[in-house]
Structure 1
């Protein structure tokens, strides 16, 4: 396949379009990572719950351990303080759940912010580039067959462009007028930016 034209103007347009496509992808990757980082900042309350729950759990666990040494009521007191340990663990679990939701949301939002624009690019830009590459490669194979190129030009040039020829270019092609055939072939190659 021939990805780029030989003629400078079309080549420049193709290179600029390709660079814009790469820039488009880079822009959305940057946006996605920025949004990902912003969403991750929402995990601060979850971190606070984990920290607070851990502190409460540790305080009640230590208190329950010391309460066992209290004569007569130590076991009951230790059991009651054990409920405080469970409350701390509940807070820690809630904080971890919130952190998980925020991290999952950040990931999927970032993924969507990359995938959707890249899919848009693949649907719009890529088919145009592939179509050009196939056409240019096919035309390039016909470079040394001016009659076929001239015939293609007769069917693909606009009526206004065909009217610029002196006389009827189709008649000139049928009669083998080499000047008209060469001009039609040159225009067909030029239409895709391929050098004659």
Structure 2
């Protein structure tokens, strides 16, 4: 495989495309992390419920413990105050549920904001780069085989490129005209940005 062309113009285009691809991924990672942080700010009410529930639970637990010492009604009073402890636990549970929903939403939203653009990039940019890398790598291995490169040029070059030859390049290739074969091979290499 040959990832980059030897010729400066094509190499520059490839480098710019690769840098844009890296920039695209970096942009969406930044967007995803920023969005994740903003969504996590929505957990403040859940934190408030957890704190309030904890305070209520602690107050009623302390009151129930002190009520046990009251003569004759201490156990009944302690039991009644124990129900307040359960109310505090319910608030804590509701707050934790809300926090969990916000955290899950932040995580999955950030994941989607990264996955969708990266998937788009992998579907569009990566196949083009891989196709070039394989094609250029295979073509570069044929440098010492100008007849094969010339044949490939006859089948892959655009008709306007072939029309620029002074005579019919197919006839030149069939008759073994070395100038025509070398020119076809050179153009095939040049089409992929590979030096002859």
Q: Scaled by the length of structure 2, what TM-score is found?
A: 0.97
CA RMSD of aligned residues (A): 0.9
**Unpaired segments ≥5 residues, structure 2:** none
Structure 1 equivalent of residue 107 of structure 2: 107
SS in 2 for 1:39: helix
Name 1:7's counterpart in structure 2: 7
SS of structure 2 residue aligned to 1:112: helix
Equivalents in 2 of 1:5, 1:165: separation in Å? Answer: 25
Number of the residue aligned with 1:117: 117
Q: CA deviation at 1:63?
A: 1.0
Deviation, structure 1 residue 171: 0.7
Q: Residues of 2 paired with 1:192 and 1:161: CA distance?
A: 14
Residue 48 of structure 2 is matched in structure 1 by 48
* Distance in 2 between residues matched to 1:127 and 1:53, nearest whole Å: 55
Q: Secondary structure at the match of 1:48?
A: helix
Question: Match for residue 152 of structure 1?
Answer: 152
- Segments of 4+ moved more than 2 angstroms: none
Give unpaired runs (5+ residues) of structure 1.
none
SS at match of 2:165: coil
* Aligned-residue offset at 1:77: 1.1
| Count of matched residue positions in the alignment of Structure 1 and Structure 2 | 196
Partner of 2:66: 66
What TM-score do the two structures reach when normalised by structure 1? 0.97
Q: C-alpha separation between the residues in 2 aligned to 1:4 and 1:159?
A: 26
